Chains A and B, each alone.
Chain A
Amino acid sequence: DIQMTQSPSSLSASVGDRVTITCQASQDISNYLNWYQQKPGKAPKLLIYDASNLETGVPSRFSGSGSGTDFTFTISSLQPEDIATYYCQQYDNLPLRLTFGGGTKVEIK
Chain B
Amino acid sequence: EVQLVESGGGLVQPGRSLRLSCAASGFTFDDYAMHWVRQAPGKGLEWVSGISWNSGSIGYADSVKGRFTISRDNAKNSLYLQMNSLRAEDTALYYCAKDIGFGVGDATFDYWGQGTLVTVSS
Q: Is the CB of B44 within 8 A of A96?
A: no
Q: Could you tell me which residues of chain A, from 4 to 26, have a CB within 8 Å of some CB in chain B?
A: none
Interface bits A50-63 vs B (CB < 8 Å: 1, else 0): 10000100000000
Q: Is the CB of B110 within 8 A of A96?
A: no
Q: Is the CB of B108 within 8 A of A34?
A: yes
A interface residues, tally (CB under 8 Å): 26
State the majority secondary structure of interface residues on B: mixed
Tell me, yes or no, whether B47 is within 8 Å of chain A by CB.
yes
- Of the four ranges (under 10, 10 to 19, 20 to 34, 35 or more), the interface on chain B belongs to 20 to 34
Q: Which of A44, A50, A94, A96 has the most chain B CB atoms inside 10 A of its CB?
A: A96
Q: How far is the CA of A16 from the CA of B57 in the complex (A)?
A: 45
Q: Is the CB of A43 within 8 A of B108?
A: no
Smallest CB-CB separation from B4: which chain A residue?
A: A43
- With A1-B62, A87-B44, A103-B44 known as contacts, the answer to whether A96 contacts B109 (CB < 8 A) is no
- With A43-B113, A43-B115, A95-B59 known as contacts, the answer to whether A100 contacts B45 (CB < 8 A) is yes
Query: Could you give 27 example pairs across A and B, Cβ below 8 Å?
Result: A34-B108, A34-B109, A38-B45, A43-B95, A43-B114, A44-B95, A44-B109, A46-B109, A46-B110, A49-B108, A50-B108, A87-B45, A91-B105, A91-B106, A93-B105, A93-B107, A96-B57, A96-B59, A96-B104, A96-B107, A97-B59, A98-B50, A98-B61, A98-B107, A100-B46, A101-B44, A102-B44
User: Which residues on B are within 8 Å of A, measured CB to CB?
Assistant: 37, 44-47, 50, 57, 59, 61-62, 95, 100, 104-110, 112-115
